[in-house]
């Protein structure tokens, strides 16, 4: 159909992340936690403009949240909560009122909402409030880095066993695992 492509748009024109690499980039950045979701954010790797449209969003709802009907309901709830949190206009941080009625986001950054199973039953106003608060944590720099708080002895380096801190600092083939 002719109208379907226009409605769907691409990732850059409507502010939604579409590519896997963008989601993986956001996962490496700063995160802020809420009981119903985790908000991840990182500087975009694309050519970013300094306009308000520079902030893009993505949703991740894994199969552990339920079947496709449940996952789609969660996605619809988060899309609506995000629209309400941003004041339906996607305002720039400079235009945000001091009362905090809109969501603070950084232009040129990508944000990913990782839903938790309780998101479906959470009150809608809690999702909206949670999006604003977690975005504020990231905006003010009080969010958690992915590797923050981990001692070098708990970080694994490309092998199956634990490596010493000197090999970790060398940076060759490192990846983080839960311990």
CA gyration radius, the chain: 18
Closest Cα partner for 107 from 62, 167, 57?
57
The CA–CA distances, whole Å, from 61 to 107, 114, 158, 176 equal 24, 6, 28, 22
The mean pLDDT of the chain is 73
pLDDT at 111: 94
pLDDT at 145: 72
Rounded Cα gap, residues 94 and 35, in angstroms:
28
pLDDT of 171 over the 90 cut: no
**Hey, CA dihedral for 77, 16, 137, 177, is it positive or negative?**
positive
pLDDT at 146: 64
Q: What is the mean pLDDT of residues 131-138?
A: 92
pLDDT digits (tens, 9 = 90+) for 8-61: 444 445 689 999 999 999 999 999 999 999 999 999 887 655 445 568 999 999
Strands of 37-43's sheet, edge to edge? 56-60, 109-115, 37-43, 30-33, 144-145
SS3 state of residue 110: strand
Rounded Cα gap, residues 173 and 129, in angstroms:
39
């Amino acid at each position: 159909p002719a109208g379907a492509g226009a409605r769907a748009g691409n990732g850059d024109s409507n502010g939604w992340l579409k590519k896997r690499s963008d989601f993986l980039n956001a996962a490496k950045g700063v995160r802020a936690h809420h009981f119903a979701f985790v908000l991840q954010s990182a500087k975009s790797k694309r050519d970013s403009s300094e306009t308000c449209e520079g902030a893009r969003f993505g949703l991740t709802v894994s199969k552990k949240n339920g079947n496709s009907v449940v996952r789609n309901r969660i996605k619809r709830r988060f899309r609506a909560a995000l629209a309400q949190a941003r004041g339906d206009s996607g305002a720039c941080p400079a235009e945000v009122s001091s009362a905090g009625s809109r969501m603070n986001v950084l232009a040129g950054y990508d944000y990913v909402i990782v839903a938790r199973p309780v998101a479906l039953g959470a009150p809608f106003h809690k999702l909206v409030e949670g999006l604003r608060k977690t975005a504020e944590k990231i905006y003010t720099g009080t969010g958690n880095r992915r590797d923050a708080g981990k001692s070098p002895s708990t970080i694994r380096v490309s092998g199956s066993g634990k490596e010493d801190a000197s090999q970790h600092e060398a940076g060759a083939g490192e990846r983080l695992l839960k311990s």
